């Protein structure tokens, strides 16, 4: 077991090194020029900017146009060294360390994603199982319709529908924008309830749009398991149908579900970019999109490396969980 974990950690480090190199060069090739945008904003305010000042700004940000390949590689290794020390640099747009900015807004995205994920599993897995055990019945067709709705609807479209119907422009049951009531001085349970009131529609949007894929996966895997020989043997032995479904069939259905958990960890922290935009939430996804539009190179590189690390950890945890759900898997 320990040998397997160390081997997987070694592979993970190699993967992260490759990802860091790709992220660095792709970010350097971005068509957005942060310095030029900053100069334009200064000139718009009425101040003048000399060519020497522009060149100095490019050099200070490490974005000099005359930098050769050796200079670019030196910049990569400098950034990699700072990354090892958990120093992601200072954000161009926000003017504070990238790690601090991520920490400030990660909690909002994590809370929304965690609540949505819990409800997603609570709804999708039972519906997928009941659809498989009652194939071609009315409930199976209803689940299929829900799957198609969840897969087909874009987040910005469905989110705006919920805002128009239940938000302040419609029934007025829930706030349409923001994370808390403007100008209200709340604390304790009142503040928590205010947060819940504001995030209800965003969470509902994420849940409805995500349960479709989970239900389809559960239904497909369950149908495959129910047609296995050992399931027919269990039924022939006279076991109750609940025992066959819950003990024998569902445990093997969990194996592909564990694979999907590899992407769960980064999804909890990455933020729902479109949903956060629709409801104007100060989540990390919304902040990252603004940084991307502004050409904030340190934030973009730091944010993507953060997600890459979570993705690698998610895959590692998924591999380790195979041994828990499938005794046939030996971690050696």
Least confident of 166-170, 202-206, 268-272, 289-293: 268-272
Helix/strand/coil (H/E/C) assignment for every residue in 282-318: CCHHHHHHHHHHCCCHHHHHHHHHHHHHHHHHHHHHH
Query: Do the domain assignments include residue 59?
Result: no
The pLDDT confidence band at residue 332, using thresholds 50, 70 and 90, is low
Q: Please give the residue that has the higher pLDDT: either 57 or 80.
A: 80
Please compute the mean of the pLDDT values over residues 310-323 and round it to a whole number.
76
Please compute the mean of the pLDDT values over residues 246-263 and round it to a whole number.
72
For the cut 70, the answer to whether the pLDDT of residue 71 exceeds it is no
For the cut 70, the answer to whether the pLDDT of residue 289 exceeds it is yes
Query: Do the domain assignments include residue 271?
Result: yes
**pLDDT tens-digit readout, 232-245:** 888 888 888 788 88
Percent of the chain, pLDDT > 70?
80
Query: Do the domain assignments include residue 249?
Result: yes
| Mean pLDDT score of the chain | 78
Give the per-residue pLDDT at 307: 86
The pLDDT confidence band at residue 73, using thresholds 50, 70 and 90, is confident
Distances (CA, A) of 64 to 25, 34, 36, 307, 322: 15, 12, 12, 28, 49
Buried b (16+ CB within 10 A) or exposed e, 196-222: eebbbbbbbbbbbbbbbebbbbbbebb
For the cut 80, the answer to whether the pLDDT of residue 290 exceeds it is yes
Query: Do the domain assignments include residue 8?
Result: no
Find out whether 58 and 35 touch, Cβ atoms under 8 Å: yes
Please compute the mean of the pLDDT values over residues 287-296 and round it to a whole number.
82
For the cut 70, the answer to whether the pLDDT of residue 46 exceeds it is no
**pLDDT tens-digit readout, 28-42:** 777 666 666 666 666
At 241, which CATH number?
Answer: 1.10.3720.10
Query: Do the domain assignments include residue 232?
Result: yes
Quote the longest CA-to-CA distance of the chain: 87
For the cut 70, the answer to whether the pLDDT of residue 190 exceeds it is yes
Please compute the mean of the pLDDT values over residues 9-20 and round it to a whole number.
85
**Averaging pLDDT over each range in 268-277, 278-287, 310-319, which range is the top one?**
278-287
For the cut 80, the answer to whether the pLDDT of residue 211 exceeds it is yes
Find out whether 211 and 120 touch, Cβ atoms under 8 Å: yes
Find out whether 65 and 58 touch, Cβ atoms under 8 Å: yes
Specify the pTM.
0.75
Domain count, the chain: 1
Angle between helices 189-226 and 98-133 in degrees, nearest 10: 50
The pLDDT confidence band at residue 97, using thresholds 50, 70 and 90, is confident
Give the per-residue pLDDT at 55: 67
Give the per-residue pLDDT at 49: 64
How far apart are alpha carbons 273 and 286 in whole angstroms? 5
Query: Do the domain assignments include residue 136?
Result: yes
Percent of the chain, pLDDT > 90?
0
Find out whether 251 and 321 touch, Cβ atoms under 8 Å: no
- The range of the structural domain enclosing residue 255 comes to 105-292
Give the per-residue pLDDT at 35: 66
Find out whether 116 and 274 touch, Cβ atoms under 8 Å: no
Query: Do the domain assignments include residue 329?
Result: no
Q: Please give the residue that has the higher pLDDT: either 219 or 246.
A: 219
Query: Do the domain assignments include residue 63?
Result: no
């Amino acid at each position: 077991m320990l040998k397997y974990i160390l081997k997987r950690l070694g592979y993970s480090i190699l993967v992260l090194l490759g990802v860091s190199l790709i992220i660095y060069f792709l970010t350097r090739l971005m068509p957005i020029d942060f310095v030029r945008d900053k100069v334009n904003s200064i000139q718009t305010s009425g101040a003048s900017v000399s060519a020497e000042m522009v060149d100095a700004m490019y050099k200070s940000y490490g974005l000099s146009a005359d930098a050769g390949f050796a200079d670019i590689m030196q910049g990569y290794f400098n950034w990699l060294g700072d990354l090892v020390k958990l120093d992601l640099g200072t954000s161009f747009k926000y003017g504070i360390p990238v790690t601090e900015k991520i920490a400030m807004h990660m909690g909002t995205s994590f809370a929304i994603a965690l609540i949505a994920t819990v409800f997603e599993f609570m709804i999708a897995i039972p519906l997928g199982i009941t659809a498989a055990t009652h194939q071609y019945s009315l409930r199976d067709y209803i689940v299929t319709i829900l799957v198609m709705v969840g897969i087909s609807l874009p987040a910005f479209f469905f989110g705006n529908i919920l805002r128009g119907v239940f938000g302040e422009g419609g029934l007025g049951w829930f706030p349409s924008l923001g994370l808390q009531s403007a100008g209200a001085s709340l604390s304790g349970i009142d503040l928590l309830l205010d947060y819940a009131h504001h995030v209800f529609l965003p969470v509902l949007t994420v849940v409805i749009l995500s349960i479709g894929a989970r239900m389809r996966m559960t239904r497909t895997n369950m149908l495959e398991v129910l047609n296995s020989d050992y399931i027919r043997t269990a039924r022939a032995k006279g076991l109750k149908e609940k025992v066959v479904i819950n003990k024998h069939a569902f445990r093997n259905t969990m194996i592909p579900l564990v694979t999907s958990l590899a992407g769960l960890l980064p999804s909890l922290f990455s933020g729902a970019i479109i949903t956060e935009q629709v409801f104007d939430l100060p989540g990390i996804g919304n902040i990252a999109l603004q940084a991307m539009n502004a050409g904030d190179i340190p934030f973009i590189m730091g944010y993507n490396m953060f997600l890459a690390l979570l993705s690698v950890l998610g895959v590692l945890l998924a591999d380790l969980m195979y041994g828990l759900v499938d005794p046939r898997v030996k971690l050696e």
